Structure 1
């Protein structure tokens, strides 16, 4: 009974997190699937908030599985240079 319930809860959380990741352009379904086990193992207390889960996974990079680590390595390599210096990341309000 416990295993059945855990699978149901897990599937629900993954689908909720997956929908939120997709809405915020946070990777493909394959990338999310690669990191889902790590999210449950390392960051369960942050589920279902995808932003907090992502931050938790980044903080626990040393403990990530090889598949999930590759997702974050690829994302870091593809990130444009200078995004961390923008006003948005320094806490400034959007002035548009």
Structure 2
């Protein structure tokens, strides 16, 4: 296998792992991220938390720890999603 093909396959695998991580988070009752957050935050997850991929709880903790370092778009949608989740829990 050539080095470029191996690198491309590894990158594709990492992208799938991050997407699966956010998808799993959005399906849990304790955490919910929208498809928009998944789209806006994938590059931040790679940039800030690549060492945690594919461990979903560690990616989540890492993203929260690095909240100040998130891109504006990612931080905005994550904050909105977290606020919506908090209001749903409060309403119960």
Cα shift at 1:14: 2.6
1:42 is aligned, of 22, 41, 48, to 48
User: Is residue 10 of structure 2 the alignment partner of residue 9 of structure 1?
Assistant: no
Q: Where does structure 2 lack aligned partners over 5 or more consecutive residues? A: none
Q: Which has the higher contact order (CA 8 A, sep 6+)?
A: 2
Instruction: State how many pairs are aligned.
Output: 83
1:20 is aligned, of 12, 15, 24, to 24
What TM-score, normalized by structure 2, do the two folds share?
A: 0.69
The structure with the greater share of residues assigned to helix is 2
What TM-score, normalized by structure 1, do the two folds share?
A: 0.67
Q: Where does structure 1 lack aligned partners over 5 or more consecutive residues? A: 84-96
Inter-partner Cα distance in structure 2 for 1:41 and 1:61: 13
Distance change >3 Å, CA 48–CA 57, structure 1 → 2: same
Q: Which has the larger radius of gyration?
A: 1
Distance change >3 Å, CA 22–CA 5, structure 1 → 2: same
Inter-partner Cα distance in structure 1 for 2:33 and 2:23: 11
